[in-house]
Amino acid sequence: MGYSKGHYGKYTGNARFCMDHAHTHVTSENYKAAERDDAAHIDYLKRDVLYDDHHGHSDAKMTADEKHISKLAGDMKYDKKHHGSPASMKDLSGDGKVTKKDVLIGRGVLSADGKPVKK
């Protein structure tokens, strides 16, 4: 009689190439879905911290939840910066649309008139 390593289903995390959403890479295509998922997760953790506080649960558990909230918030900020919509940027050049020129002005590579910044 041999021992079984457990269930190797699609979402268990045991399979070598499982569909573990915690390790799904955020791209510009799935950014909005990831943002909604992280926001819902933060909301759940905040409610869990309040529940623990009202029902006398351990401070260690609440601290772990608060650290998790902080990590998720940092992840959301990173994802927004790297995968968010460029339409959320401002038109810094004044030409009526958001272009690569606006990105370069925002980074300090170009001045507001579009000329390279002297260092």
pLDDT at 20 over 60: no
Q: Name the residue type at position 85.
A: S
Domains of the chain, by residue range, sit at: 27-84, 86-119
Helix (H) or strand (E) holding 84: none
Instruction: Write out pLDDT tens, residues 71-85.
Output: 999 988 888 888 877
The pTM of the full predicted model, rounded to 2 decimals, is: 0.55
pLDDT at 18 over 60: no
pLDDT band at residue 11, thresholds of 50, 70 and 90?
very low
Tell me which residue of 87, 92, 89 sits closest to 114, measured CA to CA: 92
